[in-house]
Structure 1
């Protein structure tokens, strides 16, 4: 049964390459809209984390169960009428299709930034298993949102709080009155 997304709390995937600020923006956006939040990294099985920590990019086979679990989380939030915000690189159209299979109304907020800016952010980030050496593979895999996908692209130059307000404005015409 397809659910209407108009005037429902949104289900939002904050996407982009590692280091663009997905977690920061997604947490602030979830707080701003009073929506449940989930961090995609928490859905990775230990084998995926070990592979990335060793500097090896994940392949589609590695990602498939992870993406299905994330899609399930989004779908459950849509079905319950609570909405939700989740981070996920969602670099390829195929990955976004897997998420949409469980949550057709998902809105993809693509945080985009230049390679040098993001590389600098990664160089100064601590406590994360994703090494900066994999950034090139992420940019190579990135397939921009297509015209038939619900979503928008925001450049990560502004402060996270500004990005959240920009995102709320982008969501208004799609989801009606937002807090």
Structure 2
């Protein structure tokens, strides 16, 4: 479970196009914590593969997830709580992220495939084509009851989704996020 004496990492998870980046940004802003986009940790070979419409395998994802885990540990070693936007589709991926030296908690954004497909059609400038959405839903293992986190429907405005996630995790929101205490402890 959670160890509130360590720094916290909130991982905003779900399929591509569900609103992870936007929600994670609002959470990071509200808490005054740094944000990392997991997409920035992909090696070029992964990006090339997805751009070509090929789904990633577990072997493709392993070094990417280890890099994210290590980034979380590095930040948290200095006492800095962080927010990460990462698909974390499978339990085994989340288990790897939980190996970080931090109190890793999850916000699972979930809605229907049709809603996400519509969002992806409206999105531009991302390397992941909407044709891979089906494979992401096929790989998706919802957050289990024994995993530290909350499930949130991203249908509301992003600020409301972030507020619901923060409240669901029981995280204190500083009155001035720019002067937030970094460890996330309550």
**TM-score when normalising by structure 1:** 0.92
Correspondence for 1:82? 80
Contact 1:11 1:77 in 2 (8 A): no
1:36 aligned to which of 31, 34, 51: 34
Deviation digits for residues 122-146 of structure 1 (CA, Å, limit 9, x no counterpart): 0111000000000000000000111
Correspondence for 2:177? none
- Separation of aligned partners in 1, 2:43 and 2:155: 32
Structure-2 change in CA distance of 1:7 and 1:98 (3 Å): closer
Q: SS at the partner of 1:85?
A: strand
Correspondence for 1:135? 133
1:126 aligned to which of 106, 124, 127: 124
1:8 Cα offset (Å): 5.5
Contact 1:19 1:119 in 2 (8 A): yes
Deviation digits for residues 98-118 of structure 1 (CA, Å, limit 9, x no counterpart): 111124520110111111110
Let me know the Cα RMSD of the aligned residues: 1.4
- Separation of aligned partners in 1, 2:100 and 2:7: 16
Contact 1:15 1:90 in 2 (8 A): yes
**TM-score when normalising by structure 2:** 0.88
- Where structure 1 has 5 or more consecutive residues not aligned to the other structure, the ranges are none
Worse-superposed segment, 48-57 or 145-154: 145-154
| Residue-pair matches, total | 173
2:89 aligned to which of 79, 87, 91: 91
- Separation of aligned partners in 1, 2:81 and 2:120: 30
Runs of 4+ in 1 over 3 A off after TM superposition: none
2:17 aligned to which of 16, 19, 23: 19
Contact 2:36 2:83 in 1 (8 A): yes
- Where structure 2 has 5 or more consecutive residues not aligned to the other structure, the ranges are 175-186
Correspondence for 2:164? 166
Deviation digits for residues 35-83 of structure 1 (CA, Å, limit 9, x no counterpart): 0110001000000000000000000110000000111111222222110
